[in-house]
A and B are shown apart, each in its own frame.
Chain A
């Protein structure tokens, strides 16, 4: 594809990415929300993070795979307690990437 067209497409991507990030802040920040709404919004972080994470861990290809070939899943079983104990995002990321690299070095996964 032509690089100028790619650039223009990227500008479009930027606009449709920015608006959902911006509009709720502009429209909701000045209002007093109902307590029930605030309680619901407080539960969005754990819900959205889990919704992004779990499919990536459990479904590497088109089906659920809990075999040893799915190193993302097995690494997570270590990374979760590491994160829980250490309370450190830094340690979690290092251990996670390190274990995946190690597993591949040992010929596991793909």
Chain B
């Protein structure tokens, strides 16, 4: 675990550097979360702790709304579970590249597996496999920025009425756009994304407000695989 190689500081530094685009998105989103939580009656300590313990953007926003409306713990936890179940697919997708890692590092890595760290790591699977330090350093950097953004939001929640004029509520979508484009390296992958995105939208319109993401992902990847196998013949 503690073997120090000559290149280890370079790996840590590279991880921090690669994390910066996500940091640029996480600070404003964390800030918006902190403002919202601060206004909804959750204590400052709990607001920041949630970013440390849960570390899942959309689920934290939803939980703030549920807490504010006085929803009971069981429903909050169940909702969080459903909203975050999509990480099951992400973890499965990255698992083959973590085969050489120690169990302890795998467990640490999994703790900070978010939509964004997942998307970034899956574009550089060789680095992920060969350099645990770089990947972990990237993960830790983005979580620090998330916690920091949350704390700033709590502090500012008395001063700021609304985060919308700053465009902060678009940070998540903008990040997804950038991450999605970097994933679209072939026609099959573009087709997969279009199919999955449109299906998710249709399911959402049909009233599936949590499971639409998982269902569309499974269907989209299956569709893409079928296209891939079919065109290969």
Contact = CB atoms under 8 A, between A and B. Distances in A.
B107 to A, nearest CB: 6
Contacts of B110: 18, 21-22, 25-26
Contact of A57 (B50, B67, B86, B173): B173
A84 to B, nearest CB: 5
Given A7-B49, A48-B90, A96 B183 contact: no
B220 interface: yes
B96 A43 contact: no
A90 B199 contact: no
A37 to B, nearest CB: 9
Interface string B181-199: 1111000111011111111
Interface in B149-181: 164-181
Nearest to A33: B96
Given A48-B89, A72-B173, A93-B25, A17 B167 contact: no
B88 A20 contact: yes
Contacts of B76: 9, 12-13
B123 to A, nearest CB: 8
B92 A44 contact: yes
Interface string B90-127: 11111110110101001101110101001100110000
Contact of B174 (A12, A23, A25, A79): A79
Interface of B: 20-22, 24-25, 28, 41-43, 45-46, 49-50, 53-56, 59, 63, 67, 70, 73, 76-78, 80-81, 84-96, 98-99, 101, 103, 106-107, 109-111, 113, 115, 118-119, 122-123, 164-184, 188-190, 192-201, 204-205, 212-213, 216-218, 220-222, 224-225, 228
Given A48-B196, A97-B166, 6 more contacts: A25-B106, A41-B221, A47-B218, A50-B220, A83-B182, A95-B174
